[in-house]
Amino acid sequence: MVTYNTIVVEKEGHTAIITINRASKLNALNAETLSDLSDALDGLAGEDNVRGIVITGAGDKAFIAGADIQEFVGMDGSQAVQLAAKGQEKVMNKIADYSKPIVAAINGFALGGGLELALAAHIRIASPRAKLGLPEVSLGLIPGYGGTQRLPQLVGKGRALEMIMTGDMIGAEEALNYGLVNYVAEESELLKKCFTLLERTYLRSPKAIAKVIKAVNTGLAEPQIGFQQEIALFGASFDTDEAKEGIQAFLEKRKPNF
């Protein structure tokens, strides 16, 4: 276990569990939490034994109930631009572009920046009591950590605009129907469901999975070059030791050693 000021990192097999550890503040994201998250992700990126990551929140109420609004007091526009840019670059984009699968285990409120962090994850699994929303317009603000971009990609323009313009929360089942979460799992089974899903990916080529993440993200961000990126990464995969092992294992009718 590695303990930062605001998060805890544990490992179970090939999976690292990052827990936002500010239960008394409903795990709200402040500057220190974002910094700790960024540092933890950087550290885990270099650990070959870690094949996937689960991000969740401490306590029984919240995944992450938004940003720490206290930090907004007295902030002007230029400072807000810097805050959003840093949060996107150092945490949200880092999660979205991470070369290892990241699953958000949404165990309660996922609001504002908390939902934006979940949106950046590759897969989202929610407990039945999860509540998800982007309530920034209630403060006279808009989402600043990627919510206006990633939510429409998952649920479509109409659903996204409804959620963002009303600021209303939706429940886990509604989120599942929207395509916002992949699964709903009982609270007692939530982490187990995350581990089981990640362990399925551990049977596959890590290098191929990293290329899949890059290809999908390129197609979403720059649709005009998505197909060309896929072709290039498809070719590059043939030059990896894992592709050679996978092809040989298939021909020999055995499981590949990834």
CA-wise closest residue to 114 among 91, 82, 86 = 91
Q: Reply yes or no on whether 116 is catalytic.
A: yes
Tell me the C-alpha distance between 239 and 117, whole Å.
34
Largest CA distance in the chain: 66
Q: What whole-number distance in Å separates Cα of residue 193 and Cα of residue 184?
A: 9
Q: What is the pLDDT of residue 232?
A: 98
239 by Cβ neighbours in 10 Å (0-12 / 13-18 / 19+) ranks as exposed
3-state secondary structure of 256: coil
First to last CA, the chain: 26
* CA pair distance 27, 108, nearest whole angstrom: 10
Q: Identify which of 127, 96, 129 has the alpha carbon closest to the alpha carbon of residue 189.
A: 127
Among all chains, which residue has been given the structure tokens 């509604």? 174
DSSP state of 110: E
Q: Which residues of 12-38 are buried (b: 16+ CB within 10 A; e: fewer)?
A: eebbbbbbbbbeebbbbbbeebbbbbb
pLDDT at 96: 98
Q: Choose, from 116, 186, 222, 252, the residue flagged as catalytic.
A: 116
136 belongs to the catalytic site: yes
pLDDT tens over the chain, length 258 residues: 999 999 999 999 999 999 999 999 999 999 999 999 999 999 999 999 999 999 999 999 999 999 889 899 999 999 999 999 999 999 999 999 999 999 999 999 999 999 999 999 999 999 999 999 999 999 999 999 999 999 999 999 999 999 999 999 999 999 999 999 999 999 999 999 999 999 999 999 999 999 999 999 999 999 999 999 999 999 999 999 999 999 999 999 999 999
Which pLDDT does position 128 carry in this prediction?
Answer: 98
> If you count them, how many residues does the chain have?
258
Contact between 138 and 167 under an 8 Å Cβ cutoff? The reply is yes
Task: Say which of 10, 89, 136, 162 is annotated catalytic.
Answer: 136
Beta-carbon-side half-sphere exposure of residue 82 (alpha carbons within 13 Å): 7
Torsion region of 215: left, alpha or beta (phi above 0 gives left; psi -120 to 50 gives alpha): alpha
102 Cβ contact list (under 8 Å, min separation 6): 52, 53, 54, 55, 95, 121, 122, 123
